[in-house]
Amino acid sequence: MRLIISEKANAAKKIAQFLAEDSVRDGKHRSVPHHTFTWKGEECVSVGLKGHVLNPEYPEEYSNWQKVEPSSLIDAEILKSVSEKGVAEAIRALSKKADSVVIATDFDREGELIGVEALSLSFEANPALMDHVERARFSALTKGEVTRAFEELVEVSRELAAAGEARQDIDLIWGATLTRWVSRATKRYGSAFLSVGRVQSPTLVLISERERERRAFNPEPYWEIEANLRNGEAFGARHAAGRFKDEAVARTAYENMTDVATVTEVKEKSATRPAPTPFNTTGFLTAAANIGISPSRAARLAEDLYTDGYISYPRTDNTVYPKSLDMREVLGQLKRVEGVGEYVDGLLAKGELTPTRGKKETTDHPPIYPTGHVSKNALRDDQWKIYQLVVRRFLATLSEPAKTLRTTVRLESGGEPLVSGGTVVTHEGWLGVYHYGRRADEEMPKLEEGQPVRVEEKEFLAKETQPPSRYGQGRLLRVMEDLGLGTKATRPSIIQNLYDRGYVHDDPVVPTETGMAVARALKDFASEIATHEMTAELERSMDEISEGKTSKDAVVDESRDVLRKVYEHLQSSETEFADIVWDGIREDSILGPCKKCGKNLTIRKAKKSGKRFAGCEGYPDCDQTYSLPPRGEIIPLGTLCDACGSPEIKVVSFGRRPWITCIDMSCPKQQERRQAIAEARAAKEKEAAAKAAEDGDAEGGDGASKKTRAKTTRKKPAAKAAAKPKGAAAKEPVKSTT
């Protein structure tokens, strides 16, 4: 029997289907499925792994963080433990019955390594297989590619696998050594440890540097003049000079303006907005981030939709649909998707369907597209959002470009030049189905040169330049990709990791003081791990290993040498390093001033119970304390409650919407909040009961009830709502902005 090992269950199934000369018999070893068939007269069994089946780790005797000197991890032996027990058992059992093995994992570095991992299990169970190994290299999971690959079997590339192993070892050696050193130097033990890694640390530095720039930013004042004009309809305009740097000049211009303006020029310009390109992973995750779903959650949701057969494989770099993809067949499926049926009919009625193409073309997987129909009722809210996003994007890529018309109007009032304008969509095209982030039309009244219009109101606005904006999670994902940090599959979890470690919070991403301190200390004392250059260098070395120009051992040993130097430098700067981080940690624990004595209230741990509470730095002179929520991350907001005057915090705990509260449980506002929660819960239960009783008419009733629920539970923090007055103008139907 010939054993065929691929990277995932789905691939194993497809390979069997493509190669089978007879029917495919599905079987299972425990819970691991395999597929038996005949190829070239020989019995074959195709089985899928679950990605990596082995994980590098240190021997048992290194497991105690306190007793083991972190530097000993630099040269310690690295073992490989089985991380997927069930799969490993299945491989061993099937190997015993096999006469030969074909490795059919993904055609890339990690794929080669995964294949070699599987082989080590195979040989362990059946050493005779060692001389009967072949490799199938296909770059697309299509019948043509797979059969070709099996006709032209090659050898496993030990060099390519070794390159992957070098990455594994280096990541573990650096990550474990420095994580332990930093945690020990700052006395952060247990779940409070501070992590360091080749990808996460440069990412944290990126976020922190941006925050530093923001803090160092010197806002410069400038002045703007806006006016509300009317010619039958009202419309907005602003002074053509834009930003005035000199207040006096601006003031003079403002005073010059009279209550009438004359149109000096009307220009119209049409533009084409091309339809968006097909989704690859990064494109998909950033689009999801733009509708408020974090990359890690979007990746999870997409994975579920993929396993259920509703969308294609969600980890791909490709932005060009393969020729083999039958667009009409997919459209036929999508006809029944709620809300897009008519649009699909419109597309089907067109003669030829020409999809857009992105810049990146690979053949490993197609871009992400919907593979099946699913009804809204069958999915949870967030799943439906993601499914819709994929469906609408797919439809958009088959649609015509949109056309817009931009009207620019120049005017003059009291010798001062004004400008106004607006853009409207003249041909919807893809905008008719992919409405994410679409702007409302800005209609301009009909105006002609020389025409007088009334200046109803003029405004003199004092403003300030703004610091560079923080990274949104989507933006961060893009920047990481540009710098070569992480992979399409790991970036979401790396970002999530920074949240889980308490290095960052919120979206756009804000570093905590602890996060900023760790980033700065690493940059100052271990700069090698703090920039993306380490990854770039590693990539170069891995290429050399895979080309046979150097060996894995040489590369890893050289990396060890560098780490030893870094470690020495860290050791000699231990107190400085710890002081920087402690300052950050302390800053994060400050909640605000104590009502009793004015000193700082900080987050502390009770000696006996280990429970956290808010205590005054003036203790023992001041005995003011407050109890704090037992679970979740506490983020001091630096604001005081307007009802009781105690500091306000944000609490972020797993599986719950973050909430903002003051720390005084007896505050009248808190009582109110608790009552509101109780009421909302009661209403929800009542609603659920009503729904259960009703049980029909799911669509209308469902949507409506969700809306009301969102309204009752989501209370906007006052501080945040006030911070962003932008976009207020957009609410006025005819006002335009330029």
Partner DNA sequence: GCAAGGTC
CB 488 to DNA: min, Å: 7
Going by their DSSP bridges, the two strands 100-104 and 133-135 should be labelled as: parallel
CA-to-CA distance for 34 and 26, rounded, in angstroms?
6
Contact code string over 225-254 relative to DNA, x by CB under 7 A: ------------------------------
**Which of 14, 34, 137, 167 is the binder for DNA (CB under 7 A)?**
167
Please identify, using beta-carbon distances, which residue of 176 and 447 lies nearer to DNA.
Answer: 176
Contact code string over 109-148 relative to DNA, x by CB under 7 A: -x---x----------------------------------
Alpha carbon 369 to chain centroid, angstroms: 19
Please report whether residue 193 would count as binding DNA according to CB under 7 A.
yes
Please identify, using beta-carbon distances, which residue of 187 and 438 lies nearer to DNA.
Answer: 187
CB 189 to DNA: min, Å: 4
> Active-site residue 503, yes or no?
no
CA-to-CA distance for 480 and 387, rounded, in angstroms?
25
CB 233 to DNA: min, Å: 55
**Which of 152, 189, 452, 631 is the binder for DNA (CB under 7 A)?**
189
Dihedral sign (CA 663, 665, 667, 673): positive
CB 105 to DNA: min, Å: 9
* Structural tokens at position 227: 């006016």
**Which of 95, 200, 399, 423 is the binder for DNA (CB under 7 A)?**
200
Listed in sequence order, the DSSP H helices in 291-437 are 295-307, 327-334, 341-349, 381-397
Task: Candidates 7-15, 228-236, 574-582, 591-599: pick the segment binding DNA (CB under 7 A).
Answer: 7-15
Number of residues that bind DNA (CB under 7 A): 57
Amino acid identity of residue 10, one-letter, is N
Please identify, using beta-carbon distances, which residue of 91 and 257 lies nearer to DNA.
Answer: 91
* Structural tokens at position 642: 């307007």
DSSP line for 664-709: -TT-HHHHHHHHHHHHHHHHHHHHHHHHHHH-S-HHHHHHHHHHHH
CA-to-CA distance for 121 and 679, rounded, in angstroms?
58
CB 244 to DNA: min, Å: 47
Please report whether residue 307 would count as binding DNA according to CB under 7 A.
yes
DSSP 110: H
Contact code string over 31-70 relative to DNA, x by CB under 7 A: -----------------x-xxxx-xxxx---xxxxx----
**Which of 7, 145, 165, 416 is the binder for DNA (CB under 7 A)?**
7
**Which of 404, 490, 527, 737 is the binder for DNA (CB under 7 A)?**
490
Task: Candidates 485-493, 578-586, 652-660, 694-702: pick the segment binding DNA (CB under 7 A).
Answer: 485-493
**Which of 3, 4, 9, 433 is the binder for DNA (CB under 7 A)?**
9
Do 181 and 159 touch, CB atoms closer than 8 A?
Answer: no
The C-alpha R_g of the chain, in whole angstroms, comes to: 31
Please identify, using beta-carbon distances, which residue of 314 and 355 lies nearer to DNA.
Answer: 314
Please identify, using beta-carbon distances, which residue of 53 and 395 lies nearer to DNA.
Answer: 53
Please identify, using beta-carbon distances, which residue of 186 and 661 lies nearer to DNA.
Answer: 186
**Which of 180, 470, 552, 735 is the binder for DNA (CB under 7 A)?**
180
CA-to-CA distance for 48 and 25, rounded, in angstroms?
15
First to last CA, the chain: 71
**Which of 129, 176, 431, 521 is the binder for DNA (CB under 7 A)?**
176
Do 477 and 495 touch, CB atoms closer than 8 A?
Answer: yes
Cβ of 631: how many Cβ atoms within 10 Å?
A: 11
Please report whether residue 507 would count as binding DNA according to CB under 7 A.
no
CB under 8 Å to 714, separation ≥6 — which residues?
657
DSSP line for 619-680: TTT---EEE--SSSEEEEEEEE-TTT-PEEEEEE-TTS--EEEES-TT-HHHHHHHHHHHHH
Please report whether residue 537 would count as binding DNA according to CB under 7 A.
no
Please report whether residue 84 would count as binding DNA according to CB under 7 A.
yes
What φ, ψ does residue 682 adopt, rounded to 5°?
Answer: -60, -40
Please identify, using beta-carbon distances, which residue of 170 and 453 lies nearer to DNA.
Answer: 170
Do 73 and 173 touch, CB atoms closer than 8 A?
Answer: yes
Please report whether residue 494 would count as binding DNA according to CB under 7 A.
yes
What φ, ψ does residue 232 adopt, rounded to 5°?
Answer: 80, -70
Please identify, using beta-carbon distances, which residue of 195 and 208 lies nearer to DNA.
Answer: 195
**Which of 36, 95, 126, 183 is the binder for DNA (CB under 7 A)?**
183
CB 532 to DNA: min, Å: 11
Please report whether residue 613 would count as binding DNA according to CB under 7 A.
no
CB under 8 Å to 631, separation ≥6 — which residues?
653, 654
Task: Candidates 5-13, 451-459, 603-611, 615-623: pick the segment binding DNA (CB under 7 A).
Answer: 5-13
Please identify, using beta-carbon distances, which residue of 63 and 627 lies nearer to DNA.
Answer: 63
Please identify, using beta-carbon distances, which residue of 566 and 614 lies nearer to DNA.
Answer: 566
Do 608 and 628 touch, CB atoms closer than 8 A?
Answer: no
**Which of 175, 295, 367, 421 is the binder for DNA (CB under 7 A)?**
175
CB 590 to DNA: min, Å: 24
CB 39 to DNA: min, Å: 22
User: Considering 62, 310, 313, 369, which one is annotated as catalytic?
Assistant: 313
Task: Candidates 164-172, 229-237, 257-265, 644-652: pick the segment binding DNA (CB under 7 A).
Answer: 164-172
Residue of 184, 169, 60, 270 lying closest to 570 (CA atoms) = 184
What stretch of H or E contains 455? strand 452-464
Residue of 524, 467, 585, 463 lying closest to 215 (CA atoms) = 467
Please identify, using beta-carbon distances, which residue of 117 and 664 lies nearer to DNA.
Answer: 117
What residues between 10 and 29 interact with DNA by CB under 7 A? 10
DSSP line for 191-243: GG-----TTHHHHHHHHHHHHHHHHH----EEEEEEEEEEESEEEEEEETT-S
Please report whether residue 196 would count as binding DNA according to CB under 7 A.
yes
Please report whether residue 481 would count as binding DNA according to CB under 7 A.
no
Please report whether residue 316 would count as binding DNA according to CB under 7 A.
no
Please report whether residue 8 would count as binding DNA according to CB under 7 A.
yes
Cβ of 564: how many Cβ atoms within 10 Å?
A: 14
Task: Candidates 197-205, 342-350, 519-527, 557-565: pick the segment binding DNA (CB under 7 A).
Answer: 197-205
Residue found under tokens 């804000």: 510
Task: Candidates 92-100, 140-148, 198-206, 399-407: pick the segment binding DNA (CB under 7 A).
Answer: 198-206
Q: Looking at the DSSP assignment, which residues form a beta bridge with residue 55? A: 81
CB 534 to DNA: min, Å: 10
CA-to-CA distance for 451 and 262, rounded, in angstroms?
6
* Structural tokens at position 430: 């893809």
What φ, ψ does residue 344 adopt, rounded to 5°?
Answer: -60, -45
Please report whether residue 91 would count as binding DNA according to CB under 7 A.
no
Task: Candidates 192-200, 393-401, 557-565, 670-678: pick the segment binding DNA (CB under 7 A).
Answer: 192-200
What residues between 678 and 717 interact with DNA by CB under 7 A? none
Going by their DSSP bridges, the two strands 590-593 and 600-605 should be labelled as: antiparallel
Q: Which residues bind DNA (CB under 7 A)?
A: 7-10, 48, 50-53, 55-58, 62-66, 73, 83-84, 106, 108, 110, 114, 167-168, 171-172, 174-176, 179-180, 183, 189-191, 193, 195-201, 303, 307, 315, 486-490, 493-494, 497
Active site residues: 313
